Every structure is written in structure tokens, then in C-alpha cells.
Amino acid sequence: MAENLTQSQRDILADAAARGVKATVWGIFASACLAVVKILAGILGNSYALVADGVESVLDIMSSLMVWGGLRIASQPATERFPYGYGKAEPLAALVVSTVLLGAAVAIAMKSLIEIRTPHHMPEPFTLIVLIGVILTKEMMFRILFRTGENIGSKAMQTDAWHHRSDSLTSIAAFIGISVALCMGPGYESADDWAALFAAGVIGFNGVRLFRSAFRDVLDVSPSPELILRIREIADAVPDVEDTEKCRVRRSGLVLFIDLHVIVDGGLSVREGHDIAHLVKESLMGSELSIQDVTVHIEPTPTPFS
């Protein structure tokens, strides 16, 4: 990544980005296959819920492409013009994906309401078999992508994984709606469309939740207290460091930037304080945390009143 990172850390981050790209590409291929199967099955089987589900899978492809692009850009090294790197491309991709989710929710809800008021044929039983396969595949995709996103610290990948979970939930709703229509018989054809409307609500809920998460990263919201505590523990373990304060952390893609105030003996020389600051920086950047840069400000211990 950036020049401040060690070669080992650059290798780890490059490997993380490569894993994310590989999992995302696999998700794109799977979503493309599922989209074709669902749309064709929905048209031939008279199920709008299944057609809507297929459209949602097409959106999965778009979102995965955005995540792929975001990861590729975020993994690029910092430049003179972009000294903090391109990490913000990753949460920006997550913002776009969540916005697509919200748009899909609105479109599916509007179409469902139209279909509810429009008489149509009963869905075909074979659509249930298609949905069972879809649900199992999508749930597997969610687990793989979300686990990979967690491991490499990618918000965009976790957002994309929830997109697949939303798709799985829409398939479950479609399965229930079609089952009700087939079991109850004539007069219950709209159960399929009510299922699609419910699915739109689920998609919208996840879209709002994921949008808020990505938006927080773009605004540099402070990370978890556990991460702050771990950073301060590493700094406090450095010899001659008496305490730490004002620990500010912001995430940029797969890496962290830290501003830290370190308290040392006020009687130390400027050179000694400078050396301690370097030791703190080296300890943090050599830790298990993906830290790209650390700014250390030295504070003297308070002088007691005489």
C-alpha cells in the first residue's frame, strides 16, 4: 500500500484485496446464472415474485461490479496527489450498492401494488423447486462473502453480502406466497404479489441500514471502543510512555490512520521525546492492526503544584 507500511503489511493488504476481488468475481458469476434462471422461471411459471427476485439478482451483479471496482481502486498505493491513498473508494462503493438496494425496493414495491390490483394466472408448482435451489445458493453466497469481508475489513464486501442475504429473503417470501396461492387455489393468486411487496420491505430495510454504515465510514466516525483500547494498550507498553490520550482513529478502506497524544516525563529532552514517539509509531505499525500511518504528539506530564 503506502510507503509507511512495511513490506509484510503491504503483502497482507494486497492478499486481502485479492481475496476480496476473487470472492466478488465468484459472486458476480453466480448472480448472473441465478438471474437468468429466476426471470425465465418467473415468466414461464406466472410468478411476478420470482421475476422481481430475478431483477434483484441483476442488481446484485451491478453492486458486485461496484464492489470489485472499489476494492481494486482502494488497494492502489498512495501518490503525491493522494497522500492518504484511495481507501475511501471502498465505502463509497458501499454507499452506491446500498442506494441501488433502496431503488430496487421502491421499484419492486410499486410493481407489486400494480400486480395485486391486476388479475393474473396462478403460479406454476415448478417455481417452488427453482426457489429452493435459489435460497440455498444465495445463503451460501452470503456466508462466504460476509466472512471474507469481515476477515479483510471491507465494508463494501459486507454490504454486498447483505445484498445476497436480501435476495435470499425475497426468495423465501416468494416461496411462501406461491405456496399460499397454490394451496388455497383460485382467489389467492395475489399472494405471490403480496410476497413480492414484503420482499421489497426487507430490501428497503437492509438498504437503509447498510447506507448508514457506509456513510459513517465516509464521515470518519470513530471505530469501536475495543479498537481504541487495543491501540492505547500497544502504545502504553512502549518504555517511558506514562499514558495516552486523545486517540483518534479513522478508517480508509482496508487500513487505519491514527492520531495519538502520548504523555511522557516532562523532564526529558526533545530528542528523547522524539525517539519515544518513533517507538510508539513503530510498535503500532508493527502490530496485527492494518495501520497505514500514525501521528504521535508528545505531551509532558502535568507539573505538580508546589
> For the chain, what are the domain ranges?
7-218, 225-300
Least confident of 46-60, 100-114, 126-140, 182-196: 46-60
Confidence of residue 11 (pLDDT cuts 50, 70, 90): low
Stretch among 33-37, 189-193, 262-266 having the lowest mean pLDDT: 189-193
Instruction: Look at residue 17 and tell me whether its pLDDT is greater than 70.
Output: no
**Which pTM value belongs to this model?**
0.59
Per the CB < 8 A criterion, the answer to whether 190 and 115 are in contact is yes
Does pLDDT of 42 surpass 60? yes
Instruction: Estimate the crossing angle of helix 270-285 against helix 225-236, to 10 degrees.
Output: 130
Tell me the H-state helices in the chain. 7-44, 48-74, 89-116, 126-152, 155-184, 191-218, 225-236, 270-285
Q: What is the mean pLDDT of residues 129-144?
A: 86
Give me the CATH code for the 7-218 domain, please: 1.20.1510.10
The dihedral sign for the CA sequence 193, 198, 204, 206: negative
CATH superfamily of 225-300: Cation efflux protein, cytoplasmic domain (3.30.70.1350)
Q: For cell 430496487, name the residue.
A: 104
**Residue 1: band (very low, low, confident or very high) from pLDDT cuts 50, 70, 90:** very low
Q: How far is CA 133 from CA 33, 48, 191, 271, in A?
A: 12, 18, 21, 67
Residue 256 contacts residue 289 (beta carbons within 8 Å): yes
Taking the CA atoms of the chain, what radius of gyration do you get in angstroms?
25
In this predicted structure, the answer to whether residue 49 has a pLDDT above a threshold of 80 is no
Give the whole-angstrom CA distance, residue 286 versus residue 235: 12
pLDDT at 143 over 50: yes
What residues are paired with 263 via a beta bridge? 243, 299
